[in-house]
Amino acid sequence: MAPGIPHAPRWQGGWWHGARAVPSPNHGPRPEGEPVTLAIVHSISLPPGVYGGDEIERLFTNTLDWSAHPYFEQIRGLQVSSHFVIRRDGQVLQFVGVDRRAWHAGRSCWQGRDNCNDWSVGIELEGLEGETFDDRQYPVLAHLLHELAAQWPIAQVVGHEHVAPGRKLDPGPGFDWLRLQRLLGWGDERLPPER
């Protein structure tokens, strides 16, 4: 970078420079004055176990062709989103600005607080609960979490399974929490107790 030329901001209006922006209409305002203190890791693949297509983007932007695969009939009309998706190859997509409330956790509770969407950021990993994730996804996830924690008071990272036990199973036993913790360098208090 030449002297006198400022660095490009890493965040702009809740959007991260390291992600490809794919704006979703599925979001709303956060409660007034609500800090973002929780990151929730999810897993997603559409159809289940199929990777590399544009179906996740289409689901989160309400443009999925429900007739393109029999599985899609089970989720027809679903309007959901996440702040970020990390593809198997490590590419990061962003669908909702972090200052906004994405529709990712659904009915949820963490440490006695309901409606985790109000105060969390959702990060989807392209993958299937119970299966392993790609090696390229872990360092990217750790980097994104560091970037988020530098901008917002992220105190903890947990899985969807932790905030919606019995209802959700992702990211599941195939996700290596200890590997993520080593990459983050965060203490036990910032990760789920069962990992």
Phi-psi category of residue 179: left, alpha or beta, with phi > 0 → left and psi -120 to 50 → alpha: alpha
Contact call for residues 86 and 125 (beta carbons, < 8 A): yes
Active site residues: 124
Contact call for residues 109 and 165 (beta carbons, < 8 A): no
CB atoms within 10 A of CB 92: 18
- Strands of 45-91, DSSP E: 84-86
Output the CA–CA distances (angstroms, integers) from residue 52 to 10, 13, 88, 127, in the order listed. Answer: 27, 28, 8, 10
